[in-house]
A and B are shown apart, each in its own frame.
Chain A
Amino acid sequence: MDITLTINGRDHAIAVEPRRTLADAIREDCGQTGTHIGCEHGICGACTIIVDGEPIRSCLMFAVQANGKKIRTVEGLANGDKLHPMQQAFMDHHGLQCGFCTPGFLMLAIGVLEREPNISDDGLLDVLSSNLCRCTGYQNIIKAVRAAAKDMRKE
């Protein structure tokens, strides 16, 4: 099937089988490998991206279902050299080690905070339990997201 995926404002005209997951299409067909795949069954969250403003698991959606929708991935967060406050906070607070889970956590946290900027600290902890990280023990991810949440509210 011929479809167009609009990723971070750029159109990618691609031909995919209906069974191609959105995660695979973004990575393989559009070459945007910042989105990672860690389980392909919805649990790890490494593939989390934002589609039409909603943070979702891109391994549980077919690429054909995203035809014409606005897709945001980690590659689109920074504005030129200026990092998104969430990226900056992850660096400042050492919210990443191997970096494999990081794009998923960034998109999850940004996706939720854009929808619910005033979410409580407990609510944020619930949200962050959506994704798995094996390196950081979550301590610094939580710190980073709370700090960035403050910055995002200011902006």
Chain B
Amino acid sequence: MSAHGTRGSGTTWVGRAIRRLEDPALITGKGRFTADLPAIHWVRFVRSTVAAGKLTKVHAPKGAMVITAADLKGVKKITPMLHKFNYRPVGQPALADGMVRFTGEPVAAVVAASEEEAEDIADQVELSIDETTPVTDARRALEAGAPQVHAEAPGNVILEGKVKTPDFDTVWNGAHKIVKVEARSRRQNATPMEPRGAHASYDVSTGRVTLTCTTQMPHLTRTAICDVLAFPESDLRVIAPDVGGGFGQKMSLASEYVVLVWLARKLKSSVAWTEDRRENLIAGFHSRDQHITLEGAFDRQSKLVALKADIVSNVGAYSCFPTTCGVEPLMAMAEMPGPYDVQQYACLARGVITNTCTMAPYRGVSRPVITFTLERLMDKAARAFAIDPIDIRRRNLIDKFPYKSAMGLEYDDATYKETLEMAVEAVDVPAFRARQKEARAKGRYLGIGFATFSERTGYGSPAFAARGMEITPGWETVIVSVDPSGFVEARIGSSPHGQGLRTTLAQIIADAIGTTPEMIKVVHGDTDRAPYGWGTFASRSLVISGGATLIAARKVRAKLIKIASHMLEAAPDDIVLADGSAKVAGTDRAIPIAKLAREAYTQTHRFKGEIEPGLTETGHYDPPGTFSNACHDAIVDVDAETGHVKVERFVVAEDAGLIINPMIADGQVHGGIAQGIGNALLEEIIYDDNGGILTATLADYLPPTAHEIPPIELHHIETPSPNSITKAKGLGEGGCIGAPAAVVNAINDALSPFGVEIEEIPATPQRIRAALRSAEKHSAHSRASGNPGP
């Protein structure tokens, strides 16, 4: 059930669940994805089969075209930069140069007439590598004497963030109880259904290259590639066509794309590379590999008074461009306190470099992990105080706004407590407890788990600047123009790939200028057509691009009114724009917008210089950022014999401000939750002791199927954000952020009779069984020695 009520039946376009404008092409097979383009040359990358070593030679078969680092002379390394936190810049060569640092690192590029042929040749390329001992685990990499991955990062620490509020020690020392969680999040891969890929073609007449690729940020891809290849941006056009999901994996620059552009310029032809699933799983960016030790100090009333965190983030072999590998540890540090009112905070956050695939942002970035850790802490504290997990949240959630966090972040109006109560009511906790008791008597272990969280969305440039990023994204630009025939085009810097932004922005514009969404085309993903922008990531597009759209559309509206007032000889205040026309209020005098648009171009002499020609306006928006919030609760059935967890039911109460299109918003939440459940239970990239990957197929790395995802119930509150001009907050990541915590808390609730704790995601059946087995042994032992069991 979806508690829409009046949702979806608004009279204006904003707030209505209209069908997506994106769908007709996609549903009929007419979508255009990168791999759909034909090419003259195909590339296959030869990748390192070992995790660490000195590359001494690449033996290529005779007559084959095999490009190595030696060919790429003058190509700069990809070297993103942070100017804070003791960051050590490390560069990534487009192809391994002298050293290999992870299994799957591209070493050579084979060029041939077909993918098959390129792969045949790649099979024959032999790499001479003097293997050295790799280090894949972050904690091991921190130990004295651990292998050094980059000379530039001694001790393998690539960055270190430290904070401590002034009164921390006093409050900590005076606390009544300290509760501790040792959380571990294993490594994941975002796994978009479309793997990465690129197609670069050279135009012999202009010398320009067009790179079509699976990216979430076309403009930045252009800037980055032109930087490392040292040629003007005007000679490179980057197109993000239909993109089959990204979830962050497609926002970081793939070194492979650099090679493709280099090849297109060298061959003066078209070259293509389609990543296969194995490459994607071993080398297509990983994420979430973190250890967090979190301690909470509570007073006698179970109020959290201080938090202490030690965050160790395994960032892989290189630093991702443009965010740098700071994105995980630094976000964890900044947002660890979450939705709870706690003013004393101390944190050490380290990014640790290892011989593993490079980390990149993945939906939610650090927040699924910190929420999981913090929500474990709350449940454990509730146990320590012998109070209900819901009550401890009631006592600690922020309820006065705006709120300034211990890290100095300003939280805008939100509904932490209200969504908690909504979610609690939706599941009928007392009825569940009764059912749980009955089931236990029959050897079935049901559990319920809650997760409340805040999700910072719509990050503007100040938020990124706080991290000291050399490339500080934030703002967006939108150009809205009405052409002389009355059709509207909005060119946007964001680059959506499944989020339905073409539809939601059209809804915003339709309301602003009194037309219908079908009249509006949103253009994105092409550096030749769209204004410079940052792309689509971090739940930002609807807030920031939506804001810029509204600003531009309002300017267009003002101009339309001006023209109408001229033509209708009425005061601007009396003009109403609606249903495709400008009307004089209270009369039947009206002019279609299409006619006004025509006049704006063709009858400018009439406006006597008072109105500039044309009907194109630009909006820029750079918001301070806003916080969405939600409470997730999961009901699980844990099979104590096999360790299998079935998620029976999943309830969400969420507040993402004003909702532009409820259907699309709900879809985003559904998708996030499914990924969160995958993160909680199934998905894990596993390295062996030699740094080889054991999970290089989709039979080993396990995204959930329809079977593993329960029906998801959504409940909504819409608190308009004062920090967002559309009043909307972002919600693209939230589903993913709360689900692991809710699911693992539910597992722990289910297993409470055994006295075991699971503090690791994914909570695989083997891990659950191992915990239960040790409890069984322990209880057998205590029975034998006469001690009471659990």
Contacts and interface: CB of A to CB of B under 8 A. Distances in A.
Interface in B678-724: 697-699, 703, 705-707, 709, 711-712
Contact of B33 (A33, A39, A136, A138): A33
Interface string A23-56: 0000110001111111111011010000000000
Secondary structure call for the A interface: loop
A132 B667 contact: no
Interface string B13-27: 000000110111011
B193 A46 contact: yes
B498 interface: yes
Residue from the set B36, B38, B500, B735 with the largest chain A CB neighbour count within 10 Å: B36
A34 B35 CA distance: 11
Interface size bracket, B side? 35 or more
A103 B193 CA distance: 12
Contacts of A102: 26-27
Interface stretch (A60-68, A69-77, A112-120): A69-77
A53 B245 CA distance: 30
A137 B28 CA distance: 21
Contacts, number: 170
A17 B116 CA distance: 10
Nearest to A43: B698
A78 B29 CA distance: 10
Contact of B194 (A33, A78, A91, A100): A100
B192 interface: yes
A129 to B, nearest CB: 4
B706 A128 contact: yes
Given A36-B244, A43-B699, A99-B244, A75 B670 contact: no
B343 interface: no
Interface in B205-253: 242-245, 247
B773 interface: no
Interface in A111-155: 125-126, 128-142
A96 interface: yes
A134 B20 contact: no
A137 B672 contact: yes
A11 B36 CA distance: 21
Interface in A80-118: 83, 87, 90-92, 94, 96-103, 106
Contact of A99 (B26, B195, B674): B26
A79 B274 CA distance: 32
Interface string B755-785: 0000000000000000000000000000000
Contact of B29 (A33, A129, A139): A33
B34 to A, nearest CB: 11
Interface of A: 17, 19-20, 27-28, 32-41, 43-44, 46, 73-75, 77-78, 83, 87, 90-92, 94, 96-103, 106, 125-126, 128-142
Given A38-B194, A98-B243, 19 more contacts: A33-B33, A33-B35, A43-B697, A43-B698, A94-B19, A97-B245, A98-B245, A99-B27, A100-B244, A102-B27, A125-B706, A126-B707, A129-B705, A135-B245, A137-B673, A137-B735, A138-B705, A138-B709, A141-B706
28 contacts: A28-B38, A33-B32, A33-B33, A36-B194, A37-B274, A44-B193, A73-B29, A90-B23, A91-B20, A91-B23, A91-B27, A94-B664, A97-B245, A97-B667, A97-B668, A98-B243, A98-B244, A98-B497, A98-B498, A99-B31, A101-B193, A132-B705, A137-B667, A137-B671, A137-B672, A137-B712, A139-B709, A139-B711
